[in-house]
Structure 1
């Protein structure tokens, strides 16, 4: 989305009051991948100096916008009172978050340790799993594992560019190979949503089963005996 398109409808007259909230709104409209101090200033119809009064640098601007996005996101509400159901809903919710906000995946994956917003959101998901019956360490391992995979898969394979590339590779592979392309043909027929859910469900079930007989904690943190 261009800054001209976003700001075209602004009326002339009194300069707009610049606040962190309106900066976040402008940044979300531009997306994290494209947001700049200049772009935000153009959308708001103000000078760059007016934006710099609230964010001292480009990196600070991106972090502010990322936090604004995360403040609007919360762990999914699901009627299915099960660990598997919640984790699958979490994966789907994170997929939508990453798809709707290009660039947010990097902030989620790096887990900005200076950001209380991101840490608070992740803590909410972990506590929800404890409420559903997991031990705190199990909740931490499961939520982190599912989140990392959901975010990573969506960031790498969820873009339109990625889909176009897969189609091109599939067209070539189908003419030369007999086994390798099968999954990709099925995936195209099922749709990305169904394939993502199938993949995440398998991950959740596998990790839950593994917790039962393969404790990932350091030996010093495991119960005696």
Structure 2
């Protein structure tokens, strides 16, 4: 509750971070944080640079919790698949984080720490820093894309189950699609992502082996695309 009269309530960055995380990135706003802290939104501008500053403060604090350990015995493809799966899992535990990292990454120190750690991990596997940035970013983009789609589905959970049931029933009854649909294996979300992300990772590694520069990677991808 906002105070009336007397000295304005004193807030610190830690208060903003704590409340921002409680609210969550989906609902995060200057007004929401100010209301929870019992201050005016104007008071927050003494600590953060508007909406972008608030989002970065909270988002980077969340990313600081993400650890991506490197298992030296893993080959490049195994390592990158582990990276993608860990990243997806972490994002799904923090609603709104997918949009945060999709909009701009890295924004702050936590993001730079994660990227630098991955550059070092791929460096131990023979990659130059610039190629490591290209390769790890490609894998992360796919993993984040899966997480973002799942995050959006969760946001629209109300009524979704019924809509999905109706859509699947209609596809099963469709004379053009029904036979194929009923023959599909039952694959859960985790397995689906693991299988297709693994396929993408293997393709990425084939296009970007150790020793290949970003320009050479681009040329190889461009040449492969011209044959399609």
* Bin of the TM-score, shorter chain as denominator length: 0.7 to 0.9
Unaligned residue ranges in structure 1 (runs of 5+): 5-14
Report the Cα distance in structure 2 between the residues aligned to 1:109 and 1:57, rounded to whole angstroms: 19
Say which of 98, 109, 127 aligns to 2:91.
98
* 2:124 is aligned with 1:131: yes
| Higher RCO, 1 vs 2 (CA within 8 Å, ≥6 residues apart) | 2
* 2:36 is aligned with 1:38: no
Q: Which residue of 1 aligns with 2:181?
A: 181
Give the length in aligned residue pairs.
Answer: 205
Q: Which residue of 2 aligns with 1:145?
A: 138
* Mapping for residues 110-129 of structure 1, pairs under 5 Å: 110-112=103-105, 115-129=108-122
Contact kept in structure 2, 1:81 and 1:132, CA below 8 Å: no
* Mapping for residues 1-225 of structure 1, pairs under 5 Å: 18-78=11-71, 80-112=73-105, 115-158=108-151, 159-160=153-154, 161=156, 164=161, 166-176=164-174, 177-178=177-178, 181=181, 185-186=184-185, 189-212=186-209, 217-218=214-215
Report the Cα distance in structure 2 between the residues aligned to 1:111 and 1:58, rounded to whole angstroms: 14
Greater CA drift, 124-133 or 171-180: 171-180
Q: How far apart are residue 112 of structure 1 and its match? A: 4.4
Unaligned residue ranges in structure 2 (runs of 5+): 2-7, 220-228
Q: How far apart are residue 155 of structure 1 and its match? A: 0.4
Question: Match of 1:54, SS?
Answer: coil
TM-score of the superposed pair, with normalisation by structure 1 = 0.74
Task: Please report the RMSD computed on the Cα atoms of aligned residues, expressed in angstroms.
Answer: 3.3
